[in-house]
Amino acid sequence: MLTNKKAQALTYDFFIATAIFFVILTIAMGYWYYSMLQTQEIGEKNRASNEMLSASEIWFKEGYPKYWNASNIMEIGMNNDKKINRTKMEMLPQVGYSKIISLLNLGIDNVQFTLYNISNNVIFQFPSGVDLSSAKNIYQIERIGILDDKPVRIMTIIWD
> Does residue 10 belong to any structural domain of this protein?
no
Give the whole-angstrom CA distance, residue 3 versus residue 10.
Answer: 21
> Does residue 78 belong to any structural domain of this protein?
yes
Cα–Cα–Cα angle for 110, 115, 117, nearest 5°?
A: 165
pTM value? Answer: 0.73
pLDDT at 144 over 90: yes
The string of pLDDT tens digits covering residues 80-131 is 988 999 999 999 999 888 888 888 887 767 889 999 999 999 999 998 888 8
The string of pLDDT tens digits covering residues 24-63 is 999 999 999 999 999 999 998 888 888 888 888 999 999 8
Domain count, the chain: 1
72-81 long-range contacts (CB < 8 A, ≥24 apart) are: 73/99, 73/103, 75/103, 76/100, 76/103, 76/104, 79/145
> Does residue 33 belong to any structural domain of this protein?
no
pLDDT at 1 over 60: no
> Does residue 67 belong to any structural domain of this protein?
yes
Residue 70: domain span: 51-159
> Does residue 131 belong to any structural domain of this protein?
yes
Give the whole-angstrom CA distance, residue 68 versus residue 101.
Answer: 17
> Does residue 129 belong to any structural domain of this protein?
yes
Give the whole-angstrom CA distance, residue 39 versus residue 50.
Answer: 17
> Does residue 21 belong to any structural domain of this protein?
no
> Does residue 145 belong to any structural domain of this protein?
yes
